[in-house]
Amino acid sequence: MKFLRIPIENAVGAISAHNLYHPQGKRILAKGDTIAPQHLDTLREAGHETVFVAQLEPGDLHEDEAAARLATLLKGDRLYFKRPATGRANLRAECPGVLRVNVDALLQINAIGHGISLATLVQHSFVQKDQLVATVKIIRFGLEQHALGDIENRLAAGAPALQIEPLKLQRIGLIVSSNHPDHDSIARRFRPGLEYRARVYHFTLAEPKYCRHEPDDIAAAIRAQKAAGMQCVFIVGMSAIIDPEDVVPQAVKQAGADNVHYGFPVDPGNLTLLAYVDDMPIVGIPGCARSKRRNAIDLILPRVLTGERIGREAILELGHGGLLEEIKARPLPRDAIDR
């Protein structure tokens, strides 16, 4: 592609590099418009004898065609885009789910240069249907075909650059454990926050099953939920989990979990528990989940609902970005510690 200033009589078929106006302020051509024969008299009348233009050379693609072809290369499962404009194609989700980003491919594509820009939401972002998840922009007015071929070769060797993992788990059980006679008071405190997440993450929350806050009783309740066909189980206890040998972790182990992940590098939500009994996830719900504000549950639950088996390393990685907005209602807000 060449950028140069040329006489207007030589400009037909070239791309206007700038907005061009009448002296009175009315626009004749927008940046990126192709100059046509009918524009010439108007440009002369407005006093434009020369124009600064971009000229595509053999092997160059127009910015919109390049954006469409690049978006097609990038999009994996359950992503779509509509007609590009001004060299931009917006990729959107076909369904609710979790965005997977091939970060290595993203870095390589943006490093190629040639005026290519790819911007995405953060890896593992939960997205709703039709939500914008990435945007491809050809910054210049065109792109060399060999640059597109370079990207195609790089993507062919690895995972898709972008894809949406759909939500698969929909039937969620709820166990409320307490040694207090008024079991339902605990469920009432947690239910607004959990029902809010059921709406956001498209799952059905079963009616609570009550049991004593003892390892044997909770373990039996977990097995009963599994037998009832629940795909995931939430546990809300009468007190927060404060140790790997506390009541709820013991119960989860008794129910058959071999790896119990307790203590998340996320605030709010440090006291979250995640384990698996066979393929059924068990989530120990922290007190902050009573709020609709984002907490550790919102970082892992969408991924859990896609069927991803989240291990220790993935949980440790949550610490980067794990400092979330404060929930003022909790007993000791952060600011109170520093007074």
pLDDT at 70 over 80: yes
pLDDT at 332: 62
pLDDT at 335 over 70: no
Please report which confidence band the pLDDT of residue 326 belongs to, taking 50, 70 and 90 as the band edges.
Answer: confident
Structure-token pair, residue 142: 């065109």
pLDDT at 103 over 90: yes
Q: Which fold has domain 2-55?
A: Molybdopterin biosynthesis moea protein, domain 2 (3.90.105)
pLDDT tens-digit map of 128-183 = 999 999 999 999 999 999 988 888 888 877 778 999 999 999 999 999 999 987 77
Q: What is the percentage of the chain residues whose pLDDT exceeds 90?
A: 83
pLDDT tens-digit map of 20-66 = 999 888 999 999 999 999 999 999 999 999 999 999 999 999 999 99
The residues spanned by each domain of the chain are 2-55, 60-166, 171-331
Q: What is the mean pLDDT of residues 65-77?
A: 94
Q: Specify the range with the lowest mean pLDDT, choosing from 123-132, 167-176, 233-242, 306-315.
A: 233-242
pLDDT at 153: 84
- Alpha-carbon distance values, 325 to 105, 156, 284, 336 (Å): 31, 40, 21, 15
pLDDT at 331: 63
Q: Which fold has domain 171-331?
A: Molybdenum Cofactor Biosythetic Enzyme; Chain A (3.40.980)
Q: State the Cα–Cα distance between residues 215 and 296, nearest whole angstrom.
A: 24
Q: What is the mean pLDDT of residues 219-236?
A: 98
Nearest CA to 236 out of 167, 189, 280 is that of 189
Q: Are 16 and 35 in contact (CB under 8 A)?
A: yes
Please report which confidence band the pLDDT of residue 337 belongs to, taking 50, 70 and 90 as the band edges.
Answer: low
Q: How many CB atoms lie within 10 A of CB 195?
A: 12
pLDDT tens-digit map of 202-224 = 999 999 999 999 999 999 999 99
Q: Which fold has domain 60-166?
A: Aldehyde Oxidoreductase; domain 3 (3.90.1170)
Nearest CA to 279 out of 221, 211, 230, 216 is that of 230
Residues 6+ apart with CB under 8 A from 67: 84, 87, 88, 89, 136, 137, 138
Average model confidence (pLDDT) across the chain = 93
Kindly write down the DSSP assignment for every residue of 137-159, as one continuous string. EE-SSEEEHHHHHHHHHHHHTSS
pLDDT at 329 over 70: no
Buried b (16+ CB within 10 A) or exposed e, 274-291: bbbbeebbbbbbbbbbbb
